[in-house]
Amino acid sequence: MTKATRSMLSLLLCATALVAATPGEAEDAVLVSSTVERYVPGSVISDSQTLALPTGASATLLFRSGDIVRLKGPFEGRLDAVRPEAAPSGAEGLVQALRGQGVEASVIGATRGFTAPSARTAMAGAPVNVDVRSSAIYCVGPTDTLWLRSSSVAGGVIRLRRGKSLREVAWPEGAGRVEWPSDIMVEDGDRFEVVDNKGAAVATMIFHRLDPSSSANAWIAASLLSGCRSQAEPALRELARELEKSAGN
C-alpha cells in the first residue's frame, strides 16, 4: 500500500468514525457558507465543536434533518452547550436558544422550498461510479446503480476484497467501466478493497446507504456527514448560490 493510499485510508476511517459515533445527532451540521475564511463550505460542524463568529460575520448551517440555520456574530460557543435541557429539539429549538443569548439566528430553507436541483436528480436514482484506483467514500440510494470505473485498466480482472472474501471481476479490453457484480450485495458501512495480484491494497471504498424518505436538503447533509464529499459538494454549491440569491432579493 502506497503512502498516499495509507493517508487517504486514514481520512476515510476518521470520517466513518465521526458518523458512527453520532448516528442520530440532529445537532451535527454541514457548513453551507460563511464569511469567516477558515470555515470551508462542506465542513462538518459537530455539536461539540466551538464555532466562533466575530461581530458582523455570518454562517449558514445545514442540519441532518434538512433544516437550514443562519446565524450572525458575535458568537462563540458549542452547539450542544447553547440549548438548555428544557428547550425544544431540532433547528427551531437551537434558534430559540441562540436568540435567548442575544445571537441573531433564524431557520431558513425548509419552509421556503430552498433545495438543489442536482440533489433531487441524485435522489431519483443515478449511476454511482466507483473509481478502482482511488480511495473514497460513496453514498448509495435505493435506486442507484453501481459501476466500477477506471481509465487505466488495460483489460483482465479487478480483484475486490471484503474481509477475507476475494472476488475477481472481468474487465474487458478498452472498457472505461463495468457494472458492479449483481451477486455482491452492498450494505451500509461495507468496506471493500481493490487489491493487486500480490494481495496489496490499491484502493479502499466505503459505502453508506441513505434513507430514501429524506428531503433533498437532508440528502445533501447526510451525504456530507457520511464523508461522500465528491457526490454532494456540487449540490451544496447549488444550495449556497440559491440561498445567496434569495438573501439578495
Q: What pLDDT digit, counting tens, does each position of 151-161 carry? A: 777 678 999 99
The rounded percent of the chain whose pLDDT value lies above 70 is 84
Predicted local confidence at residue 193, as pLDDT: 97
DSSP 8-state assignment for residue 248: H
Angle at 225 between CA 224 and CA 231, to 5 degrees: 20
Q: At residue 130, does pLDDT exceed 80? A: yes
What is the rounded CA–CA span in Å between residue 240 and residue 43? 13
> Could you name the CATH architecture of 120-209?
Sandwich (2.60)
Predicted local confidence at residue 109, as pLDDT: 62
The rounded percent of the chain whose pLDDT value lies above 90 is 55
Predicted local confidence at residue 36, as pLDDT: 95
**What average pLDDT does the segment 146-152 reach?**
88
129: cell is 461510479
Q: Which residues of 125-138 are buried (b: 16+ CB within 10 A; e: fewer)?
A: eeebbbbbebbbbb
Predicted local confidence at residue 119, as pLDDT: 80
Predicted local confidence at residue 112, as pLDDT: 55
- pTM given for the model: 0.80
- The structural domains of the chain, with segments of one domain joined by +, span 24-108, 120-209
Q: At residue 179, does pLDDT exceed 80? A: yes
**What average pLDDT does the segment 24-29 reach?**
60
Residues 6 or more apart whose Cβ sits within 8 Å of residue 145: 125, 126, 127, 128, 179, 180
**What average pLDDT does the segment 57-82 reach?**
91
What is the rounded CA–CA span in Å between residue 242 and residue 221? 16
Q: What pLDDT digit, counting tens, does each position of 86-125 carry? A: 667 788 888 988 998 899 999 986 445 667 777 877 777 8
